[in-house]
């Protein structure tokens, strides 16, 4: 049965769905994802440094942490660090001897993330690599890094198909690949849209569908981050 919140007398935001989504996100986060100093300061430090406010929402960060915990992840790869907010959640899902490698293009962003991770007590768990992600991924492969148990992709959307290819290569069988921002307020439905990010996400879906080693789906989300979504895939054994 689908509950009609308006009929139930709880929807007071009929003309502003974003306001309703924000309120529901706040309700969930306030009850299930208590804020703490490390996370609050990570956001504040990122804002002071002028980083774009495009980090995951607090309840989404907890989802990443729970996914890492649920699969027993011991090695995590993150593509796109920003200020380290999602990195903190992911690292908290690791065991004491776990490790996380996160890739960031911007030296300034990486500097802010390092400070945030140190403040969170995670600097010994997380390694930040700075530079173009594709080059960093190739270097990880050359070093024999991995295999990784979970790969989180949240970087430039144009390169998502390449990131997926490397994620599959660097992941172990049974690993989880999670990619953010794969709905883009429904823009993925328009194959003629003149936007490199949306075009990149559409190619990413094509790559997901064509990769025989992946079983994948995507879920739409609404909340502080608007109308968007996550793609989630499990890596099978060798093709």
Cα 61 to Cα 33: distance, rounded to the nearest angstrom: 9
> SS3 of 178, please?
strand
The encoded tokens of residue 72 equal 């027993």
The encoded tokens of residue 149 equal 């148990």
Cα 103 to Cα 31: distance, rounded to the nearest angstrom: 32
Sheet hosting strand 75-79, strand order edge to edge: 126-130, 99-104, 75-79, 148-153, 171-180, 226-235, 214-223
Cα 183 to Cα 86: distance, rounded to the nearest angstrom: 19
CB 157 within 8 A of CB 164: no
DSSP class of 33: S
CB 55 within 8 A of CB 82: yes
pLDDT digits (tens, 9 = 90+) for 94-108: 999 999 999 999 999
Show the domains of the chain with their CATH numbers: 17-175 (3.40.50.150)
CA-to-CA separations, 79 to 98, 144, 164, 223, 239, in angstroms, rounded? 17, 17, 10, 23, 24
pLDDT digits (tens, 9 = 90+) for 156-189: 999 999 999 999 999 999 999 999 999 999 999 9
Q: What's the pTM value of the predicted model, to 2 decimals?
A: 0.92
**CA-wise closest residue to 136 among 113, 119, 159:** 159
pLDDT digits (tens, 9 = 90+) for 186-222: 999 998 888 999 999 999 999 999 999 999 999 999 9
pLDDT of residue 13: 56
Angle between helices 160-170 and 133-143 (to 10 degrees): 10
pLDDT of residue 120: 96
């Amino acid at each position: 049965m689908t509950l009609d919140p308006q009929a139930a007398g709880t929807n007071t935001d009929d003309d502003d769905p974003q306001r309703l989504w924000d309120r529901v996100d706040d309700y969930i986060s306030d009850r299930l994802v208590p804020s703490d100093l490390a996370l609050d300061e990570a956001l504040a430090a990122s804002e002071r440094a002028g980083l774009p406010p495009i980090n995951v929402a607090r309840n989404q960060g907890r989802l990443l942490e729970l996914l890492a915990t649920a699969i027993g992840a011991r090695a995590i790869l993150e593509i796109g660090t920003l200020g380290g907010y999602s990195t903190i959640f992911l690292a908290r899902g690791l065991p004491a001897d776990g490790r996380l490698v996160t890739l960031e293009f911007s030296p300034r962003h990486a500097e802010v993330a390092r400070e945030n991770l140190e403040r969170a007590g995670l600097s010994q768990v997380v390694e930040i690599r700075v530079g173009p992600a594709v080059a960093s991924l190739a270097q990880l492969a050359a070093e024999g890094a991995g295999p990784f148990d979970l790969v989180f992709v949240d970087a430039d959307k144009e390169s998502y198909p390449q990131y997926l290819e490397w994620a599959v290569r660097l992941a172990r069988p049974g690993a989880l690949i999670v990619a953010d921002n794969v709905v883009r307020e429904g823009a993925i439905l328009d194959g003629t849209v003149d936007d490199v990010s949306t075009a990149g996400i559409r190619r990413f879906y094509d790559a997901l569908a064509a990769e025989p080693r992946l079983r994948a789906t995507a879920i739409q989300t609404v909340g502080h981050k608007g109308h968007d979504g996550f793609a989630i895939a499990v890596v099978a054994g060798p093709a």
